[in-house]
Structure 1
Amino acid sequence: MPDDTPGELTELRARMAAFINDEVIPAEKVLGGRTPEARATLAALQERAKKLDLWILGHPAELGGKGLPLYDFALVNEIIGRSEYGQLAVGTYTMQDSIMLDLYASRAQRERWLKPLVNAEISPSVGLTEPEVAGSDPTRIATTAVLDGDEWVINGHKWFTTGASRAAFTTVFARTDEDAANPHAAVSAIIVPAGTPGLEISRVLETMGDTEGDHCELRLTDVRVPADHLLGERGKGFTIAQRRLGPGRIFHCMRWLGQAQRAFELMVERANTRYAHGSLLAEKGEIRRYVAESAAEIQAARLMTLDAARRYDQDGQARLEISMVKFWGAQVLHNVVDRAIQVHGALGVTADTPLEAMYRRARYARIYDGPDEVHRMVVARKLLADVSRAPWAGLPA
């Protein structure tokens, strides 16, 4: 914890830790199934979070949330992230989309979508990625939307549209201006309600052995929605996506901290109790190296995440800091979970611990919301053009 952390934030973190560790984590086995019991358990946890005043902490106060600045929320969200289900239990799962709608939605869109979204009455999804083109290059989006009178007619193919099978709406990013001089001005964002004729969920993707995920493949065939379902301005889809993805990447890094910390604790516990080859694992040099390197990497990722959140609170962008922590945080999560599995041996690859599921999610982390290679490219390009933009620039030499 930073030395100047306010007492009320310290107290909030303690209450959140008690809720996640004592109530959410013990319920993970039940929450992992798509059953009535899982839904009832989640609903009960959400009601409990509301009673404990832990509900929608990061959402803007004017929308009914607690309005925590991103920096403060980072310190809380690393605790929420200890459980895969933490953000669902405390209502922060929808923050990326809530931020996007809060910035760009019309009054009617706010009433229909934003208010129930913040209250966890509905869930969203976003259609960006397409199987035929590189998802890391949004200028390649092939889905089209043509204005026909007072309706948009959308045709295209999306996948990894997470949550579409249970979402009330999907924000579809489509090409609306083929003749735009700037390729970043060719795409717009359009809200497509669930159940709209022509919107088909063709399958839920099986990913890395997970047959119950929610990464959906969509087909859009002559999908018609009213012209006023355009989100923000025409041709501003790239800007809208970035304003959603920027803080979203920080949210991911916050959660990854919680996952890495939990994996670290499991590794330490195992090392201190497992006896082999004449001593506890904790007494062996290689295992001590795992512990030391993991601790250093987690702390570095934590400080970088907090710095990115602080900068975002200042300028609403923090592009360099976000790209840096996105690829570093993803790699740290992967490294720490991998070492924890190694220390657990055969036990680590079973579902008897959360580590094997953490490992699968850690591998995703290096791809979604921009692959590591793209974020490294962004950082290098910015610094090669202007080294004074380095995070330590301006410090005494």
Structure 2
Amino acid sequence: MDFTISAEIDDYRSRIARFVEDEILPVEGNRDAYDDHGNIRLDFLEPLREKARAEGLWCLQLKPETGGAGLGKIGMAVCYEEMNRSIFGPAVFNSAAPDDGNMMVLEQAGTDAQKARWLQPIVEGKVRSAFAMTEPNPGSGSDPSMMQTTATRKGDKYLIRGRKWFITAAEEAQHFILMARTSDDERKGLTAFLFDRDQPGWRIERRIPIMGPEEHGGHCELVFEDLEIPAGDILLGEGEGLKVTQMRLGPARLTHCMRWLGLSKRCVEIARTYAAERFAFGERLSKRESIRMMLGDLSMQIEIGRLLVMKAAWELDRGGYARKEVSMAKIHVANLLHKAADTAIQINGARGYSTDTPLEWIYRYARQARLVDGADEVHKMVLERHLDKEDRQFWAWPASHN
């Protein structure tokens, strides 16, 4: 098994690392650069985005014909981890959720006309986007079959009625991918629609307050009251919504993990720096066995997370679905991020609990990691289903028969 990366990927990695160090971290350290929701202010973000474009570090996850570098999932794993050394990194390189996942699914599933209308403005950074699937009880959450929002066909249009909530980025999004029910068919009952913010028949009920920090555009509750969507603005066709969700959510879960590994490493970095500088009871914290064990354990857990992510990325790159691999990575890395932030705060003491470092930001952000894109318990159920179906083959190595 070869874990070396290509020279091209390593070149992108090193250039991203330099950009984060020289351009993004100084902005992250400036409290004036934060908006009211704990994210980078847009007037600070846009100049950094222009620099990233100029250096060829923009939308690397997409195909060259779309405007990217065609890195593949393995290359993305390497580069996303480096990007998220800073809490502002993903937004700068146009690799932040939900735009990241929306661009990839539009690139894969959209027609040429749909790509020109809905994808390219996101790629160019002219608009932001949202993915509207989650609903209040008793509607759809981790189980899409519970979808309550309906789409009723009237001639060459569909009328959308229903409610969504915790829709990330909705307040600033211009383009939306919306999941709605078009029939009661178990496999073909859902459809993915595209709509624009300026279309009538829907509204943002509220921006839901959360622990934060928040992505740009927050997490919103949406109400649809006969939103009209033309039949031409359906992804893949009527009844193919479940397929769209599978295409989007699996890779998106993994890209979250890639970014979270970067944040976990940043927590260790801050903790090690402070431990090396801080004296207590006659010696540096870094010399104490308890601190060394804490940091050693975190370093091992991060490496385990990287291996899980790379296994899933490899499986996706070779054309597989990587369902169980993604679930394992999602569970492990989500919990790792929370542990890394908590441990780093403990080592930093009151400093870690303050806003003098990004640790408290990462800690608040980390708690949602075990919920977004499927709670830990859901992914463990997915793994048990695979185990029940595959038995000892659950752990089988893929073999080459050439």
Match of 1:164 among 164, 167, 170: 170
1:207 is matched with: 210
Counterparts in 2 of 1:146 and 1:209: CA distance versus 1, 3 Å: same
What is aligned with 1:142?
148
Note the C-alpha offset of 1:209: 5.3
Q: 1:392 and 1:272 mapped to 2: Cα distance? A: 44
CA separation of 1:109 and 1:52: change in aligned 2, threshold 3 A = same
Match of 1:5 in 2: 5
1:303 to 307, 311, 320: 307
TM-score by length of 1: 0.93
Distance 2:352 2:360 in 1: 6
Q: Residue 203 of structure 2: SS of its match in structure 1?
A: strand
Tell me whether 1:386 sits opposite 2:375 in the alignment. no
Letter in 2 for 1:81: N
Alignment of 1:70-219 (within 5 A): 70-93=73-96, 94-133=99-138, 135-178=141-184, 180=185, 182=186, 184-208=187-211, 210=213, 214-219=218-223
Are 2:265 and 1:261 aligned? Answer: yes
Show the counterpart of 2:14. 14
CA contact (8 A) 1:321 1:391 kept: no
Q: How many residues align?
A: 390
Partner residue in 2 for 1:25: 25
State the 1:10 CA deviation.
2.0
TM-aligned CA deviation for residue 32 of structure 1: 2.2
1:31/1:85 contact within 8 Å kept: no
Q: Which of the residues 66, 82, 89 maps onto 1:63?
A: 66
Closer, same or farther in 2 for the Cα pair 1:142/1:385, shift >3 Å? same
After TM superposition, which residue ranges in structure 1, 4 or more long, deviate above 3 angstroms?
A: 209-213, 387-395
Deviation at 1:131, TM superposition (A): 1.5
In structure 2, the residue corresponding to 1:62 is in which secondary structure?
A: coil
Query: Is 2:361 the partner of 1:354?
Result: no
Letter in 2 for 1:4: T
Letter in 2 for 1:366: R
Distance 2:229 2:217 in 1: 28
- Determine if contact 1:59/1:92 at 8 Å carries over to the other structure: no
Structure 2 counterpart of 1:123, which letter?
R
Q: Which amino acid aligns with 1:32?
A: Y
* Counterpart-to-counterpart distance in 1, 2:386 and 2:212: 38
Question: Gapped runs of 5+ residues in structure 2?
Answer: none
Q: Secondary structure at the match of 1:221?
A: strand
1:62 to partner: Cα distance: 1.5
- Structure 1 residue 213 displacement after superposition: 6.0
1:240 deviates by 0.3
Question: Cα–Cα, structure 1 residues 32 and 120, in superposed 2: closer, same or farther, change >3 Å?
Answer: same
Q: SS at 2:41's partner residue?
A: helix
Q: Tell me, what secondary structure is at the counterpart of 1:185?
A: coil
Output the CA distance in 1 between the equivalents of 2:288 and 2:176. Answer: 52
Residues 59 and 95, structure 1, Cα contact 8 Å, conserved in 2 = no
Instruction: Give the Cα separation in 2 of the matches to 1:272 and 1:387.
Output: 48
Bigger shift: 249-258 or 49-58?
49-58
CA distance in 2, matches of 1:147, 1:254: 40
Deviation at 1:363, TM superposition (A): 0.6
Contact 1:158–1:218 (8 Å) recurs in 2: yes
Question: Do 1:91 and 1:119's aligned partners in 2 also have CA atoms closer than 8 Å?
Answer: no
Q: 1:290 to 1:322 in 2, by over 3 A?
A: same
Secondary structure of 2:349's aligned partner: helix
1:293 corresponds to 2:282: no
1:301–1:329 CA contact under 8 A, matched in 2:
yes
TM-score with structure 2 setting the length: 0.92
CA distance in 1, matches of 2:265, 2:110: 37
Q: Deviations over 1:35-71 (max 9, x none)?
A: 9x93232111111112212111111112121111110
The correspondence for 1:322, drawn from 322, 326, 336, is: 326
Report the alpha carbon displacement of residue 185 of structure 1 after superposing the two structures with TM. 2.2
- Compared with structure 1, are the counterparts of its residues 197 and 354 closer, same or farther at alpha carbon in structure 2 (3 Å cutoff)? same
One-letter code aligned to 2:85: R
What letter corresponds to residue 156 of structure 1 in structure 2?
G
Please identify, of 220-229 and 7-16, the stretch whose mean Cα deviation from structure 2 is larger: 7-16
Partners of 2:101 and 2:87 lie apart in 1 by 17
Aligned residue identity for 1:299: E
- The alpha-carbon deviation at position 210 of structure 1 amounts to 4.7
- 1:223 is matched with which residue? 227
1:46–1:89 CA contact under 8 A, matched in 2: yes
Percent identical pairs in the alignment equals: 36
